A and B are shown apart, each in its own frame.
Chain A
């Protein structure tokens, strides 16, 4: 069974607008972590934001925020004030007890001027 599901293969967003990328996860662990990475066309993976399962506050890092809804098992990424440089593929990933990461299939974001 898929541990991480990203249902949006691709999205378009207007520059300066906000965009929400969906991520749902499946785990029976009580302790786990959720990560979002950005992959530009050049291929490197850039860490954006982390949410631990016991964290009560939603994580924020600059223009990135993570909308964590534990009961629904969702960890959506919100990018505010989109910039042209935000055009990339975005991956949601989950760390379980064994410290391995499971990645979703990714969402391609294209920012339009």
Chain B
């Protein structure tokens, strides 16, 4: 079955530590996205990539970094510069046609120890 796999499901970060969230898709989609969701809130765009080796900042990119070395993979690193990283992180991908929806992974819950 095609889909998006996010790992781990739960992640804990110590102060001053960088952590990396994995996102892999086998849908052959060119575009991939990272969102942050705080409790009771909507999704906010962190970074997105429309093609391999290229990515753009979203609305809340500070304290995060990404890479897109392979079409299937779009890992997100939450750096120590992100002072409030506790949130639910969702990865999505999208095919090329205009009306195609973004498909989402199951998310990673990040907490501070």
Q: Which residues 61-92 in A have Cβ within 8 Å of B in the complex? A: 91
Stretch at the interface among B15-23, B37-45, B71-79: B37-45
- On whether the beta carbons of B41 and A105 are closer than 8 Å, the reply is yes
List B contacts of A106 (CB < 8 A). Answer: 40-42
**Chain B, residue nearest A31 (CB):** B98
Contact residues in B for A37 (Cβ distance below 8 Å): 101, 104
Label chain A's interface by main secondary structure. Answer: strand
With contact pairs A33-B98, A43-B107, A45-B104 given, residues A105 and B42 touching in the complex (Cβ less than 8 Å): yes
B42 touches A99 (CB 8 A): no
User: What is the interface of chain B, defined by CB distance below 8 A to chain A?
Assistant: 31, 33, 35, 40-45, 48, 50, 58, 88, 90, 92, 94, 98-99, 101-107, 109
Binding site for B on A (CB under 8 A): 4, 33, 35, 37, 42-45, 47, 50, 52, 91, 93, 99-101, 103-106
